[in-house]
Amino acid sequence: MSDRNAIARSAAAKLERAADTLRSLPVLIGFDGFIDSIIHAVDQRRNPGPDGYTRLRTIDQFAQRVAAAAGKSANIELVVKEDRFGGNGPLMAGALGRAGAAVTYVGAIGAIEKPSELHPIYGGFSAVCERVVPVAPPARTDALEFDDGKIMLGRPENVQSIGWDSLVADIGHDRLVSMFRNSALIGIVNWVMMPGVESIWHGIRTEAFADERAESKRIFLDLADPTRRSDEDVRSAVRRIADLDRAVPVTLGLNLSEAQRVASVLGLRALRVDSGPGLAASVREGAIAVRDSINIDCVVIHPREGAGAADARGNAAWFDGPFTENPRLSTGAGDHFNAGFSLGQLLGMTIDECLALGCATSGAYVRDAQSPDATRLKDFLRDLPGSNPT
Protein backbone atom coordinates (compact mmCIF):
# COMPACT_ATOMS: atom_id res chain seq x y z
CA MET A 1 0.00 0.00 0.00
CA SER A 2 1.41 3.40 -0.97
CA ASP A 3 2.16 6.07 1.62
CA ARG A 4 -0.73 8.09 0.18
CA ASN A 5 -3.21 5.27 0.72
CA ALA A 6 -1.78 4.48 4.15
CA ILE A 7 -2.25 8.10 5.25
CA ALA A 8 -5.81 8.14 3.91
CA ARG A 9 -6.70 4.89 5.68
CA SER A 10 -5.17 6.14 8.91
CA ALA A 11 -7.35 9.27 8.66
CA ALA A 12 -10.42 7.06 8.07
CA ALA A 13 -9.62 4.96 11.14
CA LYS A 14 -9.20 8.03 13.34
CA LEU A 15 -12.45 9.50 12.01
CA GLU A 16 -14.25 6.26 12.90
CA ARG A 17 -12.77 6.13 16.40
CA ALA A 18 -13.71 9.77 17.02
CA ALA A 19 -17.40 9.37 16.15
CA ASP A 20 -18.51 9.47 19.80
CA THR A 21 -16.19 12.31 20.90
CA LEU A 22 -16.81 14.57 17.90
CA ARG A 23 -20.15 15.78 19.24
CA SER A 24 -18.41 17.00 22.40
CA LEU A 25 -16.15 19.38 20.44
CA PRO A 26 -18.30 22.45 19.65
CA VAL A 27 -17.70 24.27 16.37
CA LEU A 28 -18.62 27.90 15.66
CA ILE A 29 -18.60 29.12 12.04
CA GLY A 30 -19.55 32.56 10.61
CA PHE A 31 -20.51 35.05 9.38
CA ASP A 32 -21.64 35.46 5.77
CA GLY A 33 -24.61 34.07 3.88
CA PHE A 34 -25.78 34.38 0.28
CA ILE A 35 -28.65 33.44 -1.94
CA ASP A 36 -27.19 32.37 -5.29
CA SER A 37 -29.46 32.78 -8.32
CA ILE A 38 -28.41 30.51 -11.18
CA ILE A 39 -29.20 32.46 -14.36
CA HIS A 40 -29.26 31.97 -18.13
CA ALA A 41 -28.81 34.97 -20.46
CA VAL A 42 -31.25 34.73 -23.36
CA ASP A 43 -29.98 34.83 -26.95
CA GLN A 44 -33.33 34.44 -28.74
CA ARG A 45 -36.83 33.93 -27.39
CA ARG A 46 -38.97 31.40 -29.32
CA ASN A 47 -42.11 31.47 -27.18
CA PRO A 48 -43.16 32.75 -23.73
CA GLY A 49 -42.79 29.35 -22.03
CA PRO A 50 -40.18 28.71 -19.31
CA ASP A 51 -37.92 26.89 -21.80
CA GLY A 52 -38.91 28.80 -24.91
CA TYR A 53 -35.53 30.36 -25.57
CA THR A 54 -31.99 29.66 -26.69
CA ARG A 55 -29.33 31.00 -24.36
CA LEU A 56 -26.02 32.72 -24.88
CA ARG A 57 -23.78 29.71 -24.41
CA THR A 58 -20.35 31.31 -23.96
CA ILE A 59 -18.92 34.25 -22.07
CA ASP A 60 -17.54 35.57 -25.36
CA GLN A 61 -21.05 35.64 -26.88
CA PHE A 62 -22.34 37.52 -23.84
CA ALA A 63 -19.39 39.93 -23.96
CA GLN A 64 -20.01 40.65 -27.65
CA ARG A 65 -23.69 41.37 -26.95
CA VAL A 66 -22.74 43.80 -24.18
CA ALA A 67 -19.94 45.45 -26.22
CA ALA A 68 -22.31 46.03 -29.15
CA ALA A 69 -24.45 48.21 -26.87
CA ALA A 70 -21.65 50.75 -26.26
CA GLY A 71 -22.94 54.20 -27.16
CA LYS A 72 -26.44 52.77 -27.56
CA SER A 73 -28.37 50.54 -25.14
CA ALA A 74 -29.35 46.91 -24.72
CA ASN A 75 -31.98 44.85 -22.94
CA ILE A 76 -30.72 41.33 -22.17
CA GLU A 77 -33.31 38.95 -20.75
CA LEU A 78 -32.20 36.88 -17.77
CA VAL A 79 -33.94 33.64 -16.74
CA VAL A 80 -33.51 32.51 -13.14
CA LYS A 81 -33.23 28.72 -13.23
CA GLU A 82 -32.72 28.14 -9.51
CA ASP A 83 -32.19 29.93 -6.19
CA ARG A 84 -30.01 28.12 -3.65
CA PHE A 85 -28.21 29.01 -0.45
CA GLY A 86 -24.55 29.86 -0.60
CA GLY A 87 -21.74 31.68 1.14
CA ASN A 88 -18.33 30.43 2.24
CA GLY A 89 -19.44 30.11 5.85
CA PRO A 90 -22.64 28.11 5.29
CA LEU A 91 -20.88 25.77 2.83
CA MET A 92 -18.05 25.08 5.28
CA ALA A 93 -20.44 24.73 8.21
CA GLY A 94 -22.78 22.43 6.28
CA ALA A 95 -19.88 20.16 5.36
CA LEU A 96 -18.72 19.96 8.98
CA GLY A 97 -22.26 19.26 10.17
CA ARG A 98 -22.76 16.48 7.62
CA ALA A 99 -19.50 14.91 8.77
CA GLY A 100 -20.82 14.75 12.33
CA ALA A 101 -19.53 17.90 14.02
CA ALA A 102 -21.68 19.87 16.47
CA VAL A 103 -21.90 23.12 14.51
CA THR A 104 -23.28 26.49 15.51
CA TYR A 105 -23.64 28.90 12.59
CA VAL A 106 -23.89 32.66 13.11
CA GLY A 107 -24.39 34.85 10.07
CA ALA A 108 -26.44 36.43 7.31
CA ILE A 109 -29.02 33.68 7.01
CA GLY A 110 -32.06 35.58 8.30
CA ALA A 111 -35.45 36.22 6.76
CA ILE A 112 -35.83 39.40 4.71
CA GLU A 113 -38.68 40.79 6.82
CA LYS A 114 -37.34 39.57 10.18
CA PRO A 115 -33.57 38.96 10.07
CA SER A 116 -33.52 37.29 13.50
CA GLU A 117 -35.57 34.41 12.05
CA LEU A 118 -34.15 31.84 9.63
CA HIS A 119 -34.60 32.43 5.91
CA PRO A 120 -36.60 29.52 4.41
CA ILE A 121 -33.88 28.77 1.84
CA TYR A 122 -31.60 27.75 4.76
CA GLY A 123 -34.04 25.18 6.16
CA GLY A 124 -32.05 22.19 4.89
CA PHE A 125 -28.81 23.75 6.04
CA SER A 126 -30.11 24.29 9.57
CA ALA A 127 -31.00 20.59 9.80
CA VAL A 128 -27.31 19.60 9.75
CA CYS A 129 -26.34 22.24 12.33
CA GLU A 130 -26.85 21.95 16.06
CA ARG A 131 -27.82 25.62 16.24
CA VAL A 132 -28.22 28.55 13.82
CA VAL A 133 -28.18 32.21 14.83
CA PRO A 134 -29.39 34.54 12.05
CA VAL A 135 -28.17 38.14 12.43
CA ALA A 136 -28.90 39.64 8.98
CA PRO A 137 -30.62 38.73 5.70
CA PRO A 138 -28.47 36.98 3.08
CA ALA A 139 -26.55 38.91 0.47
CA ARG A 140 -27.28 38.06 -3.17
CA THR A 141 -25.24 36.73 -6.06
CA ASP A 142 -26.49 36.55 -9.63
CA ALA A 143 -24.52 33.71 -11.24
CA LEU A 144 -24.72 33.94 -15.02
CA GLU A 145 -23.88 30.42 -16.21
CA PHE A 146 -22.24 29.67 -19.53
CA ASP A 147 -20.72 26.54 -21.01
CA ASP A 148 -17.21 27.94 -20.45
CA GLY A 149 -17.60 29.48 -17.00
CA LYS A 150 -19.63 31.81 -14.79
CA ILE A 151 -19.96 35.53 -14.29
CA MET A 152 -20.75 36.21 -10.63
CA LEU A 153 -22.48 39.51 -9.99
CA GLY A 154 -22.43 40.05 -6.23
CA ARG A 155 -24.59 42.29 -4.06
CA PRO A 156 -22.84 41.89 -0.69
CA GLU A 157 -24.31 44.84 1.24
CA ASN A 158 -26.14 42.65 3.77
CA VAL A 159 -22.94 40.92 4.90
CA GLN A 160 -20.95 44.15 4.90
CA SER A 161 -22.87 45.39 7.94
CA ILE A 162 -21.71 42.50 10.16
CA GLY A 163 -18.90 43.21 12.63
CA TRP A 164 -18.08 42.88 16.33
CA ASP A 165 -20.38 45.73 17.39
CA SER A 166 -23.35 44.42 15.36
CA LEU A 167 -22.86 40.91 16.77
CA VAL A 168 -22.79 42.32 20.30
CA ALA A 169 -26.01 44.23 19.58
CA ASP A 170 -27.75 41.17 18.10
CA ILE A 171 -26.47 38.46 20.44
CA GLY A 172 -25.33 40.23 23.58
CA HIS A 173 -21.73 40.75 24.70
CA ASP A 174 -21.54 38.05 27.36
CA ARG A 175 -23.32 35.45 25.23
CA LEU A 176 -21.12 36.21 22.23
CA VAL A 177 -17.92 35.94 24.27
CA SER A 178 -19.18 32.70 25.80
CA MET A 179 -19.87 31.25 22.34
CA PHE A 180 -16.28 31.88 21.30
CA ARG A 181 -14.79 30.62 24.57
CA ASN A 182 -16.83 27.42 24.52
CA SER A 183 -15.90 26.48 20.94
CA ALA A 184 -13.11 24.04 20.17
CA LEU A 185 -12.98 25.27 16.56
CA ILE A 186 -13.86 28.75 15.26
CA GLY A 187 -14.13 29.28 11.51
CA ILE A 188 -14.25 32.82 10.10
CA VAL A 189 -14.38 33.13 6.32
CA ASN A 190 -14.94 35.65 3.51
CA TRP A 191 -12.73 38.48 4.76
CA VAL A 192 -12.69 40.01 1.27
CA MET A 193 -16.42 40.84 1.19
CA MET A 194 -16.83 41.61 4.88
CA PRO A 195 -14.91 44.65 6.16
CA GLY A 196 -16.27 43.94 9.64
CA VAL A 197 -14.39 40.64 9.91
CA GLU A 198 -11.24 42.35 11.17
CA SER A 199 -13.23 43.87 14.06
CA ILE A 200 -14.40 40.34 14.93
CA TRP A 201 -10.79 39.12 14.95
CA HIS A 202 -9.94 42.05 17.24
CA GLY A 203 -12.88 41.32 19.54
CA ILE A 204 -11.85 37.68 19.89
CA ARG A 205 -8.28 38.75 20.65
CA THR A 206 -9.08 41.45 23.20
CA GLU A 207 -12.33 40.30 24.81
CA ALA A 208 -12.81 36.56 24.39
CA PHE A 209 -9.17 35.46 24.86
CA ALA A 210 -7.37 38.45 26.35
CA ASP A 211 -5.68 36.71 29.28
CA GLU A 212 -3.68 33.82 27.81
CA ARG A 213 -3.34 31.82 24.61
CA ALA A 214 -6.01 29.14 24.33
CA GLU A 215 -3.68 26.38 23.12
CA SER A 216 -6.38 23.70 23.01
CA LYS A 217 -8.60 25.65 20.60
CA ARG A 218 -8.25 26.48 16.92
CA ILE A 219 -9.28 29.26 14.55
CA PHE A 220 -9.56 28.67 10.80
CA LEU A 221 -9.48 31.72 8.50
CA ASP A 222 -10.14 32.00 4.77
CA LEU A 223 -9.54 35.32 2.99
CA ALA A 224 -11.73 34.34 -0.02
CA ASP A 225 -9.93 35.83 -3.05
CA PRO A 226 -7.99 38.92 -1.95
CA THR A 227 -7.35 40.07 -5.54
CA ARG A 228 -9.99 42.78 -5.21
CA ARG A 229 -8.39 44.23 -2.06
CA SER A 230 -5.30 46.46 -2.07
CA ASP A 231 -1.82 45.33 -1.05
CA GLU A 232 -2.08 47.49 2.08
CA ASP A 233 -5.41 45.83 2.95
CA VAL A 234 -3.74 42.42 2.67
CA ARG A 235 -0.76 43.56 4.77
CA SER A 236 -3.12 44.92 7.43
CA ALA A 237 -5.06 41.65 7.47
CA VAL A 238 -1.86 39.63 7.83
CA ARG A 239 -0.77 41.75 10.80
CA ARG A 240 -4.14 41.25 12.49
CA ILE A 241 -4.01 37.51 11.81
CA ALA A 242 -0.59 37.31 13.47
CA ASP A 243 -2.00 39.20 16.45
CA LEU A 244 -5.02 36.87 16.62
CA ASP A 245 -2.67 33.87 16.71
CA ARG A 246 -1.34 35.17 20.02
CA ALA A 247 -4.78 34.43 21.47
CA VAL A 248 -5.71 31.19 19.68
CA PRO A 249 -3.67 29.04 17.25
CA VAL A 250 -4.65 30.16 13.74
CA THR A 251 -4.75 28.21 10.48
CA LEU A 252 -4.88 30.32 7.32
CA GLY A 253 -6.42 28.49 4.36
CA LEU A 254 -5.60 29.64 0.82
CA ASN A 255 -6.13 28.38 -2.69
CA LEU A 256 -3.14 28.66 -5.00
CA SER A 257 -3.92 32.09 -6.47
CA GLU A 258 -4.69 33.48 -3.00
CA ALA A 259 -1.42 32.08 -1.67
CA GLN A 260 0.50 33.60 -4.57
CA ARG A 261 -1.06 37.00 -3.85
CA VAL A 262 -0.21 36.81 -0.15
CA ALA A 263 3.34 35.67 -0.92
CA SER A 264 3.78 38.57 -3.34
CA VAL A 265 2.52 41.12 -0.78
CA LEU A 266 4.90 39.63 1.80
CA GLY A 267 7.81 39.93 -0.65
CA LEU A 268 8.44 36.19 -0.76
CA ARG A 269 10.07 34.41 -3.70
CA ALA A 270 7.73 31.45 -3.42
CA LEU A 271 4.87 29.65 -5.16
CA ARG A 272 6.20 30.34 -8.67
CA VAL A 273 4.90 27.03 -10.09
CA ASP A 274 1.29 26.86 -11.29
CA SER A 275 1.07 23.22 -12.39
CA GLY A 276 3.01 20.13 -13.39
CA PRO A 277 5.61 17.97 -11.62
CA GLY A 278 7.09 20.84 -9.58
CA LEU A 279 3.78 21.94 -8.09
CA ALA A 280 3.83 19.73 -4.98
CA ALA A 281 7.27 20.91 -3.84
CA SER A 282 6.41 24.53 -4.67
CA VAL A 283 3.22 24.45 -2.60
CA ARG A 284 4.83 22.65 0.32
CA GLU A 285 7.78 25.07 0.42
CA GLY A 286 5.42 27.99 -0.18
CA ALA A 287 3.32 27.01 2.83
CA ILE A 288 6.49 26.95 4.95
CA ALA A 289 7.56 30.38 3.68
CA VAL A 290 4.18 32.06 4.19
CA ARG A 291 3.74 30.53 7.65
CA ASP A 292 7.23 31.56 8.72
CA SER A 293 6.69 35.10 7.44
CA ILE A 294 3.34 35.63 9.17
CA ASN A 295 4.39 33.58 12.23
CA ILE A 296 1.10 31.77 12.84
CA ASP A 297 0.34 28.19 13.77
CA CYS A 298 -0.47 26.75 10.34
CA VAL A 299 -0.84 27.62 6.65
CA VAL A 300 -2.58 25.29 4.19
CA ILE A 301 -2.67 25.80 0.42
CA HIS A 302 -5.02 23.83 -1.82
CA PRO A 303 -4.68 23.94 -5.61
CA ARG A 304 -6.91 21.60 -7.64
CA GLU A 305 -4.22 18.91 -7.80
CA GLY A 306 -3.92 18.39 -4.04
CA ALA A 307 -2.86 20.36 -0.98
CA GLY A 308 0.17 21.29 1.07
CA ALA A 309 0.58 22.65 4.59
CA ALA A 310 3.15 23.68 7.17
CA ASP A 311 2.81 24.25 10.92
CA ALA A 312 4.73 25.88 13.75
CA ARG A 313 6.12 22.55 14.97
CA GLY A 314 8.17 22.07 11.82
CA ASN A 315 5.77 19.68 10.09
CA ALA A 316 5.19 20.18 6.38
CA ALA A 317 3.55 17.92 3.80
CA TRP A 318 1.89 17.60 0.41
CA PHE A 319 -1.00 15.26 -0.42
CA ASP A 320 -2.02 14.32 -3.96
CA GLY A 321 -5.72 14.97 -4.33
CA PRO A 322 -8.22 12.48 -5.80
CA PHE A 323 -8.59 13.44 -9.46
CA THR A 324 -11.79 13.36 -11.51
CA GLU A 325 -12.23 14.54 -15.09
CA ASN A 326 -15.98 14.94 -14.64
CA PRO A 327 -16.93 16.81 -11.46
CA ARG A 328 -20.68 17.14 -10.98
CA LEU A 329 -20.24 20.36 -9.00
CA SER A 330 -17.17 22.51 -8.43
CA THR A 331 -18.54 25.63 -6.70
CA GLY A 332 -17.86 25.14 -2.99
CA ALA A 333 -15.03 22.63 -3.40
CA GLY A 334 -12.60 24.89 -1.52
CA ASP A 335 -15.05 25.40 1.34
CA HIS A 336 -15.38 21.62 1.63
CA PHE A 337 -11.60 21.22 1.67
CA ASN A 338 -11.49 23.76 4.52
CA ALA A 339 -14.13 21.77 6.41
CA GLY A 340 -12.24 18.49 6.06
CA PHE A 341 -8.86 19.94 6.98
CA SER A 342 -10.35 21.71 10.02
CA LEU A 343 -12.11 18.52 11.05
CA GLY A 344 -8.79 16.71 11.02
CA GLN A 345 -7.22 19.41 13.19
CA LEU A 346 -10.18 19.27 15.58
CA LEU A 347 -9.60 15.54 16.01
CA GLY A 348 -5.84 15.88 16.53
CA MET A 349 -4.78 14.24 13.26
CA THR A 350 -1.30 14.62 11.80
CA ILE A 351 -0.78 17.26 9.13
CA ASP A 352 -0.69 14.54 6.44
CA GLU A 353 -3.99 13.11 7.66
CA CYS A 354 -5.59 16.57 7.80
CA LEU A 355 -4.60 17.09 4.17
CA ALA A 356 -6.02 13.69 3.24
CA LEU A 357 -9.31 14.44 5.00
CA GLY A 358 -9.55 17.86 3.35
CA CYS A 359 -8.92 16.41 -0.12
CA ALA A 360 -11.38 13.56 0.52
CA THR A 361 -14.15 15.91 1.67
CA SER A 362 -13.68 18.07 -1.43
CA GLY A 363 -13.24 15.04 -3.70
CA ALA A 364 -16.44 13.34 -2.55
CA TYR A 365 -18.36 16.62 -2.79
CA VAL A 366 -17.45 17.34 -6.42
CA ARG A 367 -18.37 13.76 -7.40
CA ASP A 368 -21.67 13.58 -5.49
CA ALA A 369 -22.78 17.24 -5.74
CA GLN A 370 -23.53 17.12 -2.00
CA SER A 371 -21.57 17.20 1.24
CA PRO A 372 -20.38 13.74 2.32
CA ASP A 373 -21.49 12.25 5.62
CA ALA A 374 -19.02 10.42 7.87
CA THR A 375 -19.70 7.03 6.26
CA ARG A 376 -19.11 8.37 2.76
CA LEU A 377 -15.92 10.08 3.94
CA LYS A 378 -14.52 6.92 5.54
CA ASP A 379 -15.34 4.82 2.48
CA PHE A 380 -13.80 7.42 0.18
CA LEU A 381 -10.59 7.52 2.22
CA ARG A 382 -10.31 3.74 2.34
CA ASP A 383 -10.68 3.44 -1.43
CA LEU A 384 -9.04 6.70 -2.45
CA PRO A 385 -9.22 7.49 -6.18
CA GLY A 386 -6.03 8.18 -8.10
CA SER A 387 -4.24 11.51 -8.27
CA ASN A 388 -3.97 13.97 -11.17
CA PRO A 389 -1.95 12.25 -13.93
CA THR A 390 0.56 15.09 -14.49
pLDDT tens digits, residue range 57-85? Answer: 999 999 999 999 999 999 999 999 989 99
Residues near 230 by Cβ (< 8 Å), separated by ≥ 6? none
Residue 1 confidence class, pLDDT cut points 50, 70, 90: very low
What are the domain boundaries of the chain?
Answer: 3-33+87-108+162-382
Under 8 Å between Cβ of 309 and 338: no
pLDDT reported for residue 173? 98
Q: What does the pLDDT average to over 97-118?
A: 96
pLDDT reported for residue 78? 96
Q: Is the pLDDT of residue 390 over 60?
A: no
Q: Is the pLDDT of residue 149 over 90?
A: no
Q: Is the pLDDT of residue 331 over 90?
A: no
Q: Report the length, in residues, of the chain.
A: 390
Which amino acid is present at 353?
E
Q: What does the pLDDT average to over 382-388?
A: 87
pLDDT tens digits, residue range 193-245? Answer: 999 999 999 999 999 999 889 999 999 999 988 988 999 999 999 999 999 99
Q: Is the pLDDT of residue 327 over 50?
A: yes
Q: Is 184 helix (H, G, I), strand (E, B) or coil?
A: coil
pLDDT tens digits, residue range 112-137? Answer: 999 999 999 999 999 999 999 999 99
This model's pTM is above 0.85:
yes
Please identify, in words, the CATH class of the domain defined by 3-33+87-108+162-382: alpha beta
Under 8 Å between Cβ of 360 and 377: yes
Ranges assigned E (strand) in 89-138 = 103-107, 131-134
pLDDT reported for residue 152? 87
Burial (Cβ within 10 Å: 0-12, 13-18, ≥19) of residue 264: middle
